[in-house]
Amino acid sequence: MAHSVIITTPMPTWDETVERYGLSEAEQKFVIRLVDRKASRRSEGRAGTDRRIRSASLKSAQTGARKVGPTARKKINRARASA
Residue spans per domain, the chain: 24-82
pLDDT in tens, 26-71: 999 999 999 888 888 877 665 555 555 555 555 555 555 555 556 6
Question: Higher confidence at residue 67 or residue 1?
Answer: 1
What is the structure's pLDDT at 45? 64
**Predicted structure pTM score:** 0.38
Compute the distance between CA of residue 36 and CA of residue 17 in angstroms, rounded to an integer: 17
How far is CA 58 from each of CA 45, 50, 61, 62, 63, rounded to the nearest angstrom?
19, 12, 5, 6, 9
Question: Per-residue pLDDT for 72 more than 70?
Answer: no
Confidence of residue 20 (pLDDT cuts 50, 70, 90): very high
Question: Per-residue pLDDT for 75 more than 60?
Answer: yes
